[in-house]
Structure 1
Amino acid sequence: MRIRTQAKRDYVKSNAIDTILSAPRKPQPSYAFTKNGDKQLLENSGLVPKYVNKKGYGQIPEYLQQRKVKERKAQEEYDEYVREHLRQGAMKQLSDEERQSTLQGLKKNLEQMYHQYQCLSIVIDTIPKRNRKEKLESQMKEVEKDIDLVERHKTIYIANN
Structure 2
Amino acid sequence: MGLPDRIFPSPSEFLRKKCGIRHQVKSDSSKQPPSKRLTPVIPTVDLLKEDRERRKKLPPEKNFVRVNVDNALNLKPKVPEERIVIRKDGLTKKMSAGMEPVYIFKETFGRMPQYLKRFIKEREKNVLMKKDVTEIEHPKCRYVIKEEREQLLKGLKENWEELQKKYQGLPILTDSIAKVHRKLKLEEELKQLEKDIVLIEKHPYIYVYEDNDLTSN
TM-score using structure 1 length = 0.45
Larger Rg computed on CA atoms? 2
More helix by share: 1
Whose RCO is larger (CA < 8 A, sep 6+)? 1
TM-score using structure 2 length = 0.34
